[in-house]
Amino acid sequence: MKVAVLDIHGKDTGRKVELSKAVFEVAPNDHAVYLDVKQYLAHQRQGTHQSKERADIVGSTRKIKKQKGTGTARAGSIKNPLFRGGGRVFGPRSRSYDQKLNKNVKRIARRSALSIKAKEKSVLVVEDFSFDTPKTASFKAVLKALGIENKKSLFVLGASNNNVYLSARNLDRSKVITNSELNTYGIMNTQQLVLLESAVSAIESNLS
């Protein structure tokens, strides 16, 4: 698949990039995409939730009333979950939400996601660019020139570029990452995938 390379003004540079069939034209594996997205979202959870159960409550352990003759149910501890201030029954505990997924499955998932976006014609290739200083207005001008200012977009850089990254940081519908940070969730959660020219070969090298 050949894709025209655009400049930051949205004009055709006259060059074309050949997108690898092994990465951008595979039969999508929906289950692999599902597993990878599920793992990514699970890893976003901190798992620091914790409630106090009966053993965690600070309080006296004396028997609070006599066993018989009160006309109410017997009670042996003020920390009983039935009482106000008592422990919680089967409350949430701190845990890790990490899930294991084989590297090969993750690779298949990313290929599938890229192929889906390519089939939807949601992939743009833009020549490498940079800014002299971080400026949000400069990045917004690029979005407008490419006609994607109203779309959720993901820019993939070939190498780290701090000025471009900082220029997009304040925009809630645009995100800038390097090719090594590309993941299935990021690809599927965007309307327009913008690959810088130097990022294409790096992505194909990582996934082939």
* Confidence label for 35 from pLDDT (cuts 50, 70 and 90): very high
Same domain (yes/no): 130, 194: yes
Residue 106 has pLDDT above 90, yes or no: yes
Residues 144 and 159 both lie in one domain: yes
In the listed set 78, 96, 114, which residue is the last one of a domain according to the structure? 96
Judgement on whether residues 162 and 106 belong to the same structural domain of the protein: yes
- One domain for residues 137 and 179: yes
105 shares its domain with 87: no
Half-sphere exposure of 53 (CA within 13 A, CB side): 9
- Under the banding of pLDDT at 50, 70 and 90, the label for residue 4 is very high
Supply the range of the domain harboring residue 65.
47-96
User: Which of the four pLDDT bands, split at 50, 70 and 90, describes residue 208?
Assistant: confident
The mean pLDDT value for 13-36 works out to: 94
Residue 16 pLDDT: 92
CATH number at residue 186: 3.40.1370.10
Same domain, 70 and 91: yes
Tell me: the pLDDT tens digits for 157-178? 999 999 999 999 999 999 999 9
DSSP 46-106: --------GGG-----S--S-SSSSSS-----TT-TTSTT-PPTT------------HHHH
CB 54 within 8 A of CB 90: no
What phi and psi, each to the nearest 5 degrees, are found at residue 11? -95, 150
68 plus 149 within the same structural domain: no
* pLDDT value, residue 191: 96
- The whole-angstrom separation of Cα 86 and Cα 28 is 53
Are both 128 and 146 inside the same structural domain?
yes
Q: Provide the number of structural domains found in the chain.
A: 2
Percent of the chain at pLDDT above 70?
Answer: 100
Looking at the fold, whether 92 and 119 belong to one and the same domain comes out as no
Read off the pLDDT of residues 131-161 as tens digits, 9 standing for 90 and up: 999 999 999 999 999 999 999 999 999 999 9
How crowded is the C-beta side of 186, counted as CA atoms within 13 Å? Answer: 17
Q: Answer yes or no: is pLDDT of 60 > 90.
A: no
Same domain, 17 and 116: yes
> What mean pLDDT, rounded, does the chain reach?
94
**pTM recorded for the entire structure:** 0.83
Is there a single domain that holds both residue 108 and residue 137?
A: yes
